[in-house]
């Protein structure tokens, strides 16, 4: 895929066989929202989706990459099992250390999402995603800038 997009909060980077998405936002939650938009837009034309159905999604992880992985998997699961193409995301991330535990951080995510019942012609079905991968996954949170950048790969 070629590097395209950007105005939507994500862009696609060059890769011969898979989709590499770079998403960004002014904070971690916005970057996670744009990651989901980038994922959905690989499969469908997200600009043609009307946000009329609301679906709550929850995800968790022991670190930020595992949270991102679980989040993107849950977004795909909604599309595949509920036949809803999602287009609007409002994410809230919590970082909680388990009480009385030696475990490091634990993250949870709750998101209100909106979308529309899948219509392959209207939503311009593009390609099937086999899965999200940890390969080349990065979450960059520079201290001195107001932008979080997330990079991840989808197996097509």
pLDDT in tens, 136-155: 899 998 877 789 999 999 99
Q: What predicted TM-score, i.e. pTM, was given to this entire model?
A: 0.89
pLDDT in tens, 55-73: 999 999 999 999 999 999 9
Tokens of 47: 């600009």
Domains of the chain: 4-155 (3.55.10.10)
With a cut of 70, say whether residue 3 has pLDDT above it.
no
What Å distances lie between residue 137 and 20, 35, 64, 68, CA to CA?
Answer: 9, 12, 10, 9
């Amino acid at each position: 895929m070629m590097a395209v997009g950007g105005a939507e909060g994500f862009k696609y980077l060059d890769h011969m066989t898979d989709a590499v998405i770079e998403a960004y936002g002014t904070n971690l939650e916005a970057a996670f929202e744009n990651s989901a938009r980038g994922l959905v837009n690989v499969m469908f034309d997200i600009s043609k989706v009307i946000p009329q159905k609301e679906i709550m999604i929850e995800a968790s992880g022991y670190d930020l990459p595992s949270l991102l992985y679980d989040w993107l998997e849950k977004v795909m699961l909604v599309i595949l099992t509920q036949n809803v193409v999602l287009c609007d995301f409002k994410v809230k991330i919590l970082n909680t250390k388990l009480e009385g535990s030696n475990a490091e951080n634990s993250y949870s995510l709750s998101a209100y999402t909106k979308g529309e019942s899948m219509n392959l012609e209207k939503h311009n079905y593009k390609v099937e995603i086999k899965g999200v991968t940890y390969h080349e996954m990065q979450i960059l949170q520079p201290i001195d800038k107001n932008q979080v950048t997330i990079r991840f790969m989808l197996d097509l």
